[in-house]
Structure 1
Amino acid sequence: MEIEEFFTIYQTSAWRKDTTAMINLYDEQAVIFDMWDQGYQSNSLEWSKVIKDWLGSLGEEKVKVDFDMVNIHQSGNVGFASALIQFQAISSDGAVLRSMKNRITLGFSKFENGWKVTHQHTSAPISSNGLTAILDI
């Protein structure tokens, strides 16, 4: 996989609820800083459970994922990407039920079979009125 392909594979995997394809984007030792529940996963086994729980909980809904402002930098066996990621829950009749936009930063390492995510961090801005989210790491 090339780094550019991550974004298309992630979109397609979410839409098709293809947990295997999504999990295969990540290295076994990937560190994930997520915005939900635990907020931190230190390997692909933990991250796999999060992905399976997320996509498995959708029922009839589908998830449409869009990326904006994608920036990719790579040199040798190390790569970096950042983007805005929007998630939309789509009903069986095509209506948008809810949506959310986050920031995503990805670190990649190049292996024999291509690039894999070794670090992922999602975040969202907070207002200046003092509201903060606390991660229990």
Structure 2
Amino acid sequence: MNKYTQDLKALDKIEEEWNNKLNEEMKEEEEILSIIDNITSNLLISKRIKSQINDKTFVIAYSTIELPIKYYDSKSKTNKTRKVMHNVLTVIDIDKYKIAQGRYIPLTSKCEYDTTHDLKANIRVVVEGWIRHITGTIKPEMLED
């Protein structure tokens, strides 16, 4: 076997390894999106649910609340406050809750409610942020120039 053929076989092997890795990552992403969709749909039905993720049980609650936001009004040159709607996701890890025996503080994640989207999209944003946090995955995005 000549050097050219050996190089081609080596390149084919590298390409196959990369394709396998890419397929594995795509499968993981599909599973994460499925979990996000499932939790989002269940939170639309009930504001508090129980879910199992990676062999851990969580109690997940969603709500929208109005929070005061302080800002500076340049016209009147004064500090003002306005109320803004926020998505709030509260998550209890059942195992940690049982171990901590009353000293456990649930995770609370919040973000501003986007009025240009419906309730499902707003729930999905906060759920996706939490799921990607606990799974250690990020979603690549294209940034505009």
Shorter-chain TM range is under 0.3
Structure having the higher strand fraction is 1
**Which structure is richer in relative contact order (CA contacts within 8 A, separation 6 or more)?**
1
Q: Which has the larger radius of gyration?
A: 2
Q: Select the structure that is richer in helix.
A: 2
